[in-house]
Copies of this chain bind each other. A is one copy, B any other.
Amino acid sequence: MAPQSRVAPTMGGASHVIARDERYGEVTDDDVRHFVRCVGGDAAGVVVSTSATATNSKAADGAGDALDKYNVDWMGKYHGRSRVAVLPKTTKELSAIMSRCHARNLAVVPQGGNTGLVGGGVPAYDEVVVNLGRMNAIVSIDEDAGVSVVEAGVVLEELESAVRARGMTVPLDLGAKGKCQMGGCVSTNAGGLRLLRYGSLRGSVLGLEIVLANGEVLDLLRTLRKDNTGYDLKQLFIGAEGTLGIVTKIAILTPRAPTNVNVALFGLDSFASCVELLKLARGRLGEILSAFEFFDRESLDLVLEQLKGTRDPLAKPCPFYVVVETSGSVKSHDNAKLQAFLKIVKNKRVIVDGVVGKDEKHAFALWTLRERISVALKYAGAVYKYDISLPTARMYNLVTTLRARLAPQFGSGVKVLGYGHLGDGNLHLNISCAEYTDALERAIEPFVYEYTRDERGSVSAEHGLGIMKAEEIIYSKDAKAVELMGAMKRALDPRGILNPYKVLPAATRVAALIPMSRL
């Protein structure tokens, strides 16, 4: 018997009790032998749990198990109990693996670099882990066309290095770049730091190759910038978090890299000033504005406290900070634009103080203060993470409102931090504390979701829904939309074997499942 139900008190925002759906099959030794044949007998292609009773006991929580790295997410919040991870090297191998899973009604969780924040890439129970890490070839880089084709397991930073060598850049950058894989980025529609400049992956991704739930290969891999022949099916798989198919190859625009990058950090005395600064940056920096990020003093304090080698960037503390990046092709022009911008924001007293990165190292240090907040939060203890889109001008109200809500009950041991992609209207709201407690969670949720709904915002701007927010979709999408998503799911994965328990609410999702007995 697999575990019947699962409460995850350590999951920070995912305390829904969900039960393993007994309509799925359980992985047998026969299945494992079949998987080994699928990968041509390559021992590195199938990793089996070293805890003998892994599939049969609640007690086997896999300490020191060979599958730990596949079963547990990087934050240590989400713990699956899968018995086997497969690591195909080709689309054909994956296709054979999925055929088997489909025929046997085995649930599957597609996994990339395992850097997600919502538990979308690790098993909820005993799903077969399909890790794409060994499909990591860069297939082609076309400098003339500005298009690259990669396998899903290519790490973002590796692609960036490869295209940089030819004067190009990946139109996507995020903190996890050293580990996250391109397939995962596409499957989560990752946003990150360059969205302001290059737009979303929905425009940058030109083509995809997909392995469907039943093992069929869907070839949407084109390198054309324009193609209006029928419905753009690839869009369904971008951001579907592996619930509709498994991304195996990606064609993506890799535009010319900017030859000149400037970074400036500003201190401001109110959030309203941050918004005013954004307006001025859009107008004055125009086509060279490439990032506009903000964080509050509470976030900076945590970075300074947790991370060695960081230091206060300005003479006096300010309640708010903004990092502005410009990217252009002529250094003197960029510098002139930046200087003109600095002059105006000083004269208008929009900023309290500011500093421009004087060389690459200094610029990197300024960026680090913003980029490493997430790591500082991890070091500091437990953290409830929310990733929210809100109307830009009112975005920070949620932080102050939540502080006022939590302070009386929880005091100074609970810190509410706000930072994020201000230029995209995207707030990262983080509640840092010693440990996860039901009382604290109840004080945060569903309050945060209701607040966001009332502002017509999104309860997941860029992190996705995963297992953490599958039920919370209703705060951002109306019932008809969720119903239609269920129809898409049933059309593409009629047996519901792809990444179950995630993205869609149980009531929508489970209708797709066929009981084992009827197969």
Contact = CB atoms under 8 A, between A and B. Distances in A.
A248 to B, nearest CB: 14
A199 B202 CA distance: 10
A183 B336 CA distance: 41
Contact of A336 (B189, B333, B464, B484): B333
B424 A461 contact: no
A226 B203 contact: no
Nearest to A198: B199
Nearest to A118: B228
Interface stretch (A33-41, A213-221, A352-360): A213-221
A231 to B, nearest CB: 5
Interface stretch (A50-58, A71-79, A238-246): A238-246
B481 A230 contact: yes
A15 interface: no
B329 A225 contact: no
Interface stretch (A21-29, A278-286, A342-350): A278-286
Contact of A337 (B329, B460, B462, B465): B329
A275 B239 CA distance: 35
A205 B285 CA distance: 24
A487 interface: yes
A139 interface: no
Contacts of A287: 258, 287-288, 327-329
Counting chain A residues whose Cβ lies within 8 A of the other chain, the interface size class is 35 or more
Contacts of A504: 230
A190 to B, nearest CB: 9
Interface in A365-415: 389, 391-393
Given A144-B393, A202-B203, A460 B425 contact: no
Nearest to A207: B456
Contacts of A424: 225-226
Nearest to A245: B484
Contacts of A238: 232
Contact of A226 (B232, B256, B461, B484): B461
Interface in A299-353: 327-330, 333, 336-337
B235 A236 contact: yes
Given A284-B329, A286-B256, A286-B329, A145 B458 contact: no
B392 A145 contact: yes
B333 A330 contact: yes
Interface in A454-488: 456-465, 469, 472-473, 476-478, 480-482, 484-485, 487-488
Interface in A255-288: 256, 258-259, 275, 279, 282-288
Given A229-B465, A244-B231, A487-B491, A480 B145 contact: no
10 contacts: A188-B228, A195-B226, A199-B199, A222-B458, A224-B458, A226-B425, A228-B239, A230-B465, A230-B477, A232-B236
